[in-house]
Amino acid sequence: MKARYRTLFISDCHLGSNGAQAEQLARYLKHVECEEIFLVGDIIDMWRLKQRWYWPDSHNSVLRRLLKMSHKGTKITYVPGNHDESARQFCGLVFGGIRIAMDAVHVTADGRRLLVTHGDKFDLVVRHSRLLSVAGAVGYEFLLKVNRWYNAGRRLFGLPYDSLSQAIKARVKSACTFISNFEDALVSEARHGGFAGVVCGHIHKAEQRDIDGIEYLNCGDWVESCTVLAEHADGRIEMIDGLAELAALDAAKAIRESSGDDATDDAAEFDPWLVEPPIAFNAEAALRRAAM
């Protein structure tokens, strides 16, 4: 039995880094069915991949799983983050059924409009929020622009994106302030745009909270928390603990096996994406055979 949801929001998988819990994520995705998925940034960690190529099979399994879901009719929107910002040049395009967008809007089953954004563009706003309160709304827009220039400049010199999470790690004492400033910045952006809430990632802190009448929804990550946000058929959004979900599946499987019923979900489902080699290789082999 698969868990059924209307929508899933997943962020910060950091595939391509050894911290990614890809095996667990691929397993989790195998046990869910949904109409729509939003990938809320930092899905692939291109910064790490540039330093050192790391791409074990489990990381492929996640992508294969997503492509398979897309193939079966799940609508997938990919909102890139700062670690996969090179995907941002493809905003507006569709690859393998997956739509790439800078930001997205999701309307829940009960009609709430949610802004979907990774959250990195608020880094500088967050760090200079005191200046912001003096400068007001003009300064805010300006800082968003400065952040883009600043990081474009860093890119030119081959420097990594100067991210909020790095700032947090360097200054543990101020972490709480940073996080609450981050939340405030996203909530005020959502309010500004007339949204009921905002779905984001970036700071690797899963959260579902009402902040001054705006829903603040942070997907968390698949490095530590292994969480997803799931929207039920009635529009209710729930924070799902992926590892707990998998543990429950394992427990149920153990009970089934001990009662002598060894027909498991894993064995029952035929998965062509996992069994067959990629289509490109098949075509090549066929051409070779034809030439012989």
Q: Are 75 and 284 in contact (CB under 8 A)?
A: no
Residue showing the smallest CB distance to Mn ion in the complex:
202
Q: Which amino acid is at 65?
A: R
Residues 22 to 61: which contact Mn ion by CB under 5 A?
A: 42
Return the number of the residue (120 or 189) whose C-beta is nearest Mn ion.
Answer: 120
Asked if 127 touches Mn ion (CB under 5 A), the answer is no
Q: How wide is the angle at C-alpha 12 spanned by C-alphas 100 and 29, nearest 5°? A: 80
CB of 278 to Mn ion, least distance (A): 29
Return the number of the residue (133 or 166) whose C-beta is nearest Mn ion.
Answer: 166
What does the buried/exposed string (b/e) look like for 126-159 if buried means 16 or more CB atoms within 10 Å of the residue's CB? bbbbeebeeeeeebbeebbeebeeebeeeeeeee
Asked if 215 touches Mn ion (CB under 5 A), the answer is no
CB of 93 to Mn ion, least distance (A): 21
For residue 200, which of 109, 128, 103 has the smallest C-alpha distance?
Answer: 103
Contact region with Mn ion (CB under 5 A), list: 81-89, 122-130, 145-153, 267-275:
81-89
Return the number of the residue (162 or 184) whose C-beta is nearest Mn ion.
Answer: 162
Return the number of the residue (120 or 215) whose C-beta is nearest Mn ion.
Answer: 120
Return the number of the residue (69 or 125) whose C-beta is nearest Mn ion.
Answer: 125
- Give the residue, chosen from 11, 17, 82, 151, that forms a contact with Mn ion under the rule CB under 5 A: 82
Residues 216 to 275: which contact Mn ion by CB under 5 A?
A: none
Q: Are 82 and 42 in contact (CB under 8 A)?
A: yes
Contact region with Mn ion (CB under 5 A), list: 1-9, 77-85, 171-179, 251-259:
77-85
Q: How far apart are CA 283 and CA 46, in angstroms?
A: 30
For residue 196, with 0-12 CB atoms within 10 Å meaning exposed, 13-18 middle and 19 or more buried, which class applies? middle
Q: Are 7 and 47 in contact (CB under 8 A)?
A: no
Asked if 202 touches Mn ion (CB under 5 A), the answer is yes
Residue whose token pair is 């289509």: 279
CB of 88 to Mn ion, least distance (A): 12
Q: Which residues would be at the binding site for Mn ion (CB under 5 A)?
A: 42, 81-82, 120, 202
